[in-house]
Amino acid sequence: MDEIVKGRNEPAGIEVPLPSTGTGRWGSDVAADVIRSLDIPFVALNPGASYRGLHDSLVNHLGNRAPQMLLCLHEEHAIGIAHGWAKVTGRAMMAIVHSNVGLMHATMALFNAWCDRMPLLLYGATGPMDAAKRRPWIDWIHTSKDMGALIRHYTKWDDQPNSVAAFPEAILRGRQIAETAPRGPTYVCFDVGLQEQKVEKPPALPDVARYKPPAPAAPPPDLIADIAQLLHAAERPVILMGRVSCDENAWKERVRLAESLGALVITDLKLGGAFPTEHPLHAAPAGSRLTAGSVEALKNADVVLSLEARDLAGVLQAAHKGAPITSKIIRVAVDQHIHNGWSMDYLQLAPVDHYILAEPEPTVTALNRELAKLGPRKTAAWPGRMPHKPKALPSLDGSGPITVPHVAAALQRATADRKSCLTHPPLSWAGSLWPIRDPLDFLGADGGGGVGGGPGQSIGAALALRGTGRLPISVCGDGDFLMGVTAIWTAVRYEIPILFVIVNNRSYYNDELHQEHLAIARGRPPENKWIGQQMLGPELDIPMLARGQGALGFGQVAALDELLPTLQQAIAAVDAGKVAVVDVRVEPGYSEPGTAGAAASHSS
Ligand X SMILES: Cc1ncc(C[n+]2csc(CCOP(=O)(O)OP(=O)(O)O)c2C)c(N)n1
Residue 311 interaction partner, one of ligand X, Mg ion, none, beta carbon < 5-8 Å per kind: none
Give me the least distance between CB of 496 and ligand X, in Å please. 22
Residue 510 interaction partner, one of Mg ion, ligand X, none, beta carbon < 5-8 Å per kind: ligand X
Q: Quick check: 170 and 161 in contact, CB under 8 A?
A: yes
Closer residue to ligand X, CB minimum distance, 409 or 451: 451
Residue 511 interaction partner, one of Mg ion, ligand X, none, beta carbon < 5-8 Å per kind: ligand X
Closer residue to ligand X, CB minimum distance, 330 or 410: 410
Burial 138-172 (b: 16+ CB within 10 A, else e): ebeebbbeebbebbeebbbbbbbbeebeebbebbb
Amino acid code (one letter) for 1? M
Closer residue to ligand X, CB minimum distance, 208 or 519: 519
Q: Quick check: 345 and 114 in contact, CB under 8 A?
A: yes
Integer CA distances (angstroms), 346 to 269, 313, 376, in order: 18, 10, 37
3-state DSSP call for residue 292? Answer: helix
Closer residue to ligand X, CB minimum distance, 260 or 288: 288
Closer residue to Mg ion, CB minimum distance, 208 or 535: 535
Relative to beta strand 8-10, strand 14-16 is: antiparallel
Closer residue to ligand X, CB minimum distance, 158 or 446: 446
Please provide the size of the chain in residues: 604
Give me the least distance between CB of 505 and ligand X, in Å please. 5
Residue 155 interaction partner, one of Mg ion, ligand X, none, beta carbon < 5-8 Å per kind: none
Residue 449 interaction partner, one of ligand X, Mg ion, none, beta carbon < 5-8 Å per kind: ligand X
Give me the least distance between CB of 549 and Mg ion, in Å please. 21
Closer residue to ligand X, CB minimum distance, 479 or 497: 479
- Whether the upstream peptide bond of residue 351 has omega within 30° of 0, thus cis, is no
Residues within the interface to ligand X (CB under 6 A): 108, 426-428, 449-452, 477-480, 505, 507-511, 603-604
Pairs from 10-15 (Cβ < 8 Å, separation ≥ 24): 11/495, 12/466, 12/494, 12/495, 13/493, 13/494, 13/495, 14/64, 14/65, 14/68, 15/64, 15/68, 15/69
Helical spans, DSSP H, in 415-549? 454-465, 478-484, 488-493, 509-522, 542-547
The phi and psi torsions of 311 (rounded to 5 degrees) equal: -140, 70
Give me the least distance between CB of 454 and ligand X, in Å please. 8
Residue 536's CB is within 10 A of a number of other CB atoms, namely: 10
Give me the least distance between CB of 481 and ligand X, in Å please. 7
Residues within the interface to Mg ion (CB under 5 A): 477-479, 505, 507, 509
> What is the spatial distance between Cα 210 and Cα 171, in angstroms, rounded to a whole number?
13
Give me the least distance between CB of 590 and ligand X, in Å please. 7
Give me the least distance between CB of 398 and ligand X, in Å please. 23
> What is the spatial distance between Cα 295 and Cα 595, in angstroms, rounded to a whole number?
9
Integer CA distances (angstroms), 475 to 119, 202, 368, 498, in order: 23, 48, 37, 11
Nearest to 319 by CA among 300, 295, 339: 295
Closer residue to ligand X, CB minimum distance, 438 or 541: 541
Closer residue to ligand X, CB minimum distance, 306 or 510: 510
> What is the spatial distance between Cα 493 and Cα 489, in angstroms, rounded to a whole number?
6
* Cross-strand pairs, 282: 265
Give me the least distance between CB of 30 and ligand X, in Å please. 37
Closer residue to ligand X, CB minimum distance, 427 or 582: 427
Residue 108 interaction partner, one of ligand X, Mg ion, none, beta carbon < 5-8 Å per kind: ligand X
Give me the least distance between CB of 214 and Mg ion, in Å please. 43
- Residue nearest to ligand X as judged by C-beta position: 477
Give me the least distance between CB of 430 and ligand X, in Å please. 12
Give me the least distance between CB of 531 and Mg ion, in Å please. 15
* Cross-strand pairs, 584: 503, 557
Q: Quick check: 481 and 492 in contact, CB under 8 A?
A: no
With a CB cutoff of 8 Å and minimum separation 6, the contacts of 222 are none
Closer residue to Mg ion, CB minimum distance, 180 or 507: 507
